[in-house]
């Protein structure tokens, strides 16, 4: 028990999802593609096409393109052409359109790009240009103190953090890398299925450095744990 406890981190409360705090990075892909193909590439290799919430992020994304048009994740709603959404239906009230844009030239410009002057333009989604993906990963800290799940949660929140949920394989890999001693939307239970009825008292989720999948443990068991730093919008 002691050996296993030293390598196991408490993660999830009663199999319920907590909100992950995330860091964002942007990546320029210099392989011209249509907006839809760019979206597919970003989702396969990163998180999604660039999602932008602030002027600083907009400037950074445009700078990556070095003045050339690059696809970003914003696109026109196909049912209401006055509305724009981000890939994955993520919401942000921030926009950085060039004056007069989006103009929907010839009624065929449904996808957003960042371009000259670090401003945004609508373009035909079929145009092939470079694009910017973003990657979100949790900023995790390993706490080498043995605590129950409730004590771990209290500790993390006192540090302006939280216990993490692992919403993707990337986040799980990040969690494992944060433990140097030794794919809720994403799940990694044995056999690919969440336990239907965990054994009595085994109501808290764990990630073991030595195992490939998640496990369930007694929430009162005292283990090391991870805190994920809160990401400010």
149-196: pLDDT as tens digits? 888 888 888 876 777 654 444 455 555 555 544 433 334 444 455 555
Instruction: Reply yes or no on whether the pLDDT at 60 is more than 80.
Output: yes
pTM score of the predicted model: 0.56
| Structure confidence at residue 221 (pLDDT) | 82
Separation between Cα atoms, residue 49 and residue 38, nearest integer Å: 7
More confident residue, 197 or 164: 164
Is the pLDDT higher at 123 or at 187? 123
The more confident residue out of 204 and 7 is: 204
Specify the pLDDT at position 147: 86
Q: Which pair of tokens denotes residue 223?
A: 């283990």
Q: Which pLDDT value is given to residue 177? A: 53
Share above pLDDT 90 across residues of the chain, in percent, rounded to a whole number: 36
* Whole-number Å distance between alpha carbons of 60 and 52: 10
- Strand 129-137 to 70-76 pairing: parallel
pLDDT at 9 over 50: no
Average pLDDT over residues 111-120: 92
Q: 24-38, 113-127, 162-176, 185-199: which range is least confident on average?
A: 185-199
Please provide residue 42's backbone torsions phi and psi, each rounded to the nearest 5 degrees.
Answer: -60, -40
Measured CA to CA, the distance from residue 65 to residue 104 in angstroms comes to 22
- Whole-number pLDDT of residue 113: 97
Instruction: Please tell me which residue, 36 or 219, carries the higher pLDDT value.
Output: 36
- Give the domains, in start order, of the chain with CATH numbers: 2-22+138-229 (3.10.100.10), 23-135 (3.10.100.10)
């Amino acid at each position: 028990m002691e050996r296993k406890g030293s390598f196991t981190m408490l993660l999830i409360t009663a199999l319920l999802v907590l909100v992950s705090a995330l860091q964002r990075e942007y990546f320029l892909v210099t392989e011209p593609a249509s907006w839809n193909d760019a979206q597919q590439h970003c989702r396969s290799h990163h998180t999604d096409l660039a999602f932008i919430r602030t002027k600083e992020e907009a400037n950074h994304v445009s700078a990556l393109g070095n003045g050339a048009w690059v696809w970003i994740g914003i696109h026109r709603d196909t049912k209401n052409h006055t509305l724009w959404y981000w890939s994955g239906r993520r919401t942000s009230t921030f926009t950085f359109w060039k004056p007069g844009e989006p103009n929907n030239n010839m009624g065929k410009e449904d996808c957003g790009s960042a371009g000259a002057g670090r401003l945004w333009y609508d373009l035909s989604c079929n145009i092939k240009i470079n694009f910017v993906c973003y990657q979100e990963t949790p900023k995790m800290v390993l706490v080498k103190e043995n605590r129950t799940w409730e004590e771990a949660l209290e500790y993390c929140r006192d540090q302006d953090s939280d216990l993490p949920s692992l919403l993707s394989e990337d986040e799980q890999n990040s969690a494992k890398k944060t433990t140097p001693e030794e794919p809720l939307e994403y799940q990694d239970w044995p056999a690919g299925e969440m336990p239907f009825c965990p054994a009595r008292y085994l109501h808290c989720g764990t990630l073991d450095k030595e195992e490939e999948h998640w496990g369930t443990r007694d929430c009162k068991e005292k283990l090391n744990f991870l805190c994920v730093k809160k990401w400010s919008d």
